A and B are shown apart, each in its own frame.
Chain A
Amino acid sequence: MIKFTGVFKAYPKGVLALKDVTFHLRKGEFIFLTGHSGAGKSTVLRLIYGEQQPTSGDIRVSGFNTTNISTRETAKLRRRLGIVFQDFRLLTDRTTEENVAFALEVTGTRRSVIAPKVMRVLTQVGLAVKARSYPRELSGGEQQRVAIARALVNDPFVLIADEPTGNLDERAARGVFRLLRDINANGTAIILATHNLDLVRSTDYRTIELQEGAIVYDSEIDARDGT
């Protein structure tokens, strides 16, 4: 599904953001990506959704080779991904349902199928009753649920979440995390970057830890090696 092989990423000023990163996310898998700020978590995610290209190495995302991808191909790829950020990135002048529908509208989905699809994902994230609310009328947790609904509405094979609970209080964070687990249980793979170790420790999902751009721990490999 997603496969990194010996990926390096250097930024223009000579900063090496990723060093020889290799991992493989399988279908329906849930991976925690941990590490301090600046360890390279966001870079890994940006390379997955084609926001940046690696300096060297090979990246495969569901049949796309994002090592060297055109903008048109990037757009196609992103329709198969769901992306969620710490700061929600909702359009403040649109309601919940309009924000979710937007993802379908801009990819040219037929109008007749938009409304039922939007209602379905809003129900899934538990926000059907707030369909007509504007982001400013919602709590942080609810806004993140809208963002997750928008990410889900295109039926992605993987949900990419960059610190999705970073702006939320503990209760809301737990709620959002529970939602992500439910989504994963329904078959969508999830790769979640976070430095909230409580969240990580509360489950036995696979964990990959980055330090200064290099993978220093991968629970799958290290468990197999018995270390």
Chain B
Amino acid sequence: MRLIFREAFLSFTRTPTLSVLSIVTIAFALFVVGLFGLVAVNLKEALAGIEERVEIVMYLQRGTPRAAAVAARADIRSFPEIESVGYVTEDDALQRARSELVEFQDAFGELVTNPLPASLEIKLKPGFRDEASVAAVARRLEGFRFAEDIRFGRDWIAKLDRLRDVTAAIGLFIGAAFALASVIIIGTTIRMSVIQRADEIGIMRLVGATDGFIRRPFLLEGAIKGALGGIAAVGLNFAAFQAVNRTLLEASFFTNQQATTIILFGTVLGLLASAFSVRKHLGKV
């Protein structure tokens, strides 16, 4: 075991430039994947917050009697998907507009009649906050005679969903390109050290070392490079996250588990690259 570590370390010192280069490319590959991952993670969180607010608003026709509205409210509340139903009267609506839209204070002040309609604000239970359920409930609401208009934020929820998917896909694509580059560079470094150590490998074979034994230091070398690249990538991502957090908006970082996954991914990448290269080149020595 000590021998394997020594051999792996030796080949670091023999090709320092290439070793650093392979660590840097792995780091960049995972950094890019990580950046897009961070965006996706934060988008997902933002979406979860928005989904919590998923509401259907049913505007009532002017002159709908209060009793009808209250009856409808009780009716809707008995739907299995519904968490709560709020009744906003015309006066409530005006009140809310006045306090929320301070800029239009003067305009509201001059109003003779209240132009705002009354509405029922319907909130769905957690399991039903997806597009399909919202649309189904909305369709049922259309059955109320006094329903003037039914609104829900379906479009932009779907758009955000799509944005998240696209972000993740772009991240994976660019990351994969970088990952491929790092596999090639790691493969090259391993090839160099295999060639450089041809004599040593020849002698190892001569005295009866198994190919598995000969391969191990190279695999370890690749795995270490991958792990270092992964650690560097998490570090870079953290730096980027801090910069955004301080200047732009409050974002959240990877969980420990996600960060570990990135490092593990780097390790596996390094391991695979060296396994591939050493298998290919050991036969030629």
Contacts and interface: CB of A to CB of B under 8 A. Distances in A.
Given A105-B3, A108-B213, A89 B203 contact: yes
Given A89-B199, A106-B3, A106-B213, A154 B207 contact: yes
Contacts of B2: 111
Interface stretch (A73-81, A124-132, A191-199, A216-224): A73-81
A27 B202 CA distance: 28
B208 A71 contact: no
A75 B206 contact: no
Interface string B186-228: 0000000000000110111111111101100000000000000
Q: Which of A102, A105, A150 has the most CB of B within 10 A?
A: A105
B3 A79 contact: no
A138 interface: no
Interface residues of A, number: 22
B208 A79 contact: yes
Contacts of B208: 75-81, 103, 106-107, 154
A75 B205 contact: yes
Interface string A147-158: 000100010000
Interface residues of B, number: 16
B202 A102 contact: no
Nearest to A91: B200
Interface string A92-115: 000000000011011110010000
A185 B25 CA distance: 59
A83 interface: yes
Interface string B227-247: 000000000000000000000
B211 A75 contact: yes
A155 to B, nearest CB: 12
Contacts of A91: 199-200, 203
A20 to B, nearest CB: 28
A76 B206 CA distance: 11
A171 interface: no
A102 B210 contact: no
A108 to B, nearest CB: 7
Among B200, B203, B207, B209, find the residue whose CB has the most chain A CB atoms closer than 10 A: B207
A89 B206 contact: yes
Interface string B65-100: 000000000000000000000000000000000000
Nearest to A79: B208
Nearest to B283: A71
A121 B272 CA distance: 41
A91 B202 CA distance: 11
Contacts of B204: 102, 106
A83 B207 CA distance: 8
A72 interface: yes
Contact of A71 (B3, B200, B202, B211): B211
Contact of B207 (A72, A79, A111): A79
A75 B210 contact: yes
Contacts of B210: 71-72, 75
A182 to B, nearest CB: 22
Interface string B1-41: 01100000000000000000000000000000000000000
B199 A103 contact: no
Contact of B209 (A75, A77, A83, A150): A75
A100 to B, nearest CB: 10
Nearest to B2: A111
B212 to A, nearest CB: 8
Contacts of A83: 206-207
Contacts of B205: 75, 78
Contacts of A81: 208
A77 B209 CA distance: 10
A107 B203 CA distance: 12
Contacts of B202: 89
A43 B227 CA distance: 45
Given A107-B209, A108-B213, 14 more contacts: A49-B206, A71-B211, A75-B209, A78-B205, A78-B206, A78-B208, A83-B206, A83-B207, A89-B206, A91-B200, A91-B203, A102-B207, A105-B3, A106-B209
16 contacts: A75-B205, A75-B209, A78-B208, A80-B208, A81-B208, A83-B206, A83-B207, A91-B199, A91-B200, A102-B204, A105-B3, A107-B208, A107-B209, A108-B213, A111-B2, A154-B208
Interface of A: 49, 71-72, 75-81, 83, 89, 91, 102-103, 105-108, 111, 150, 154
Q: Which 7 A-B pairs have the closest CB atoms?
A: A79-B208, A78-B208, A106-B209, A103-B207, A75-B210, A106-B204, A75-B208
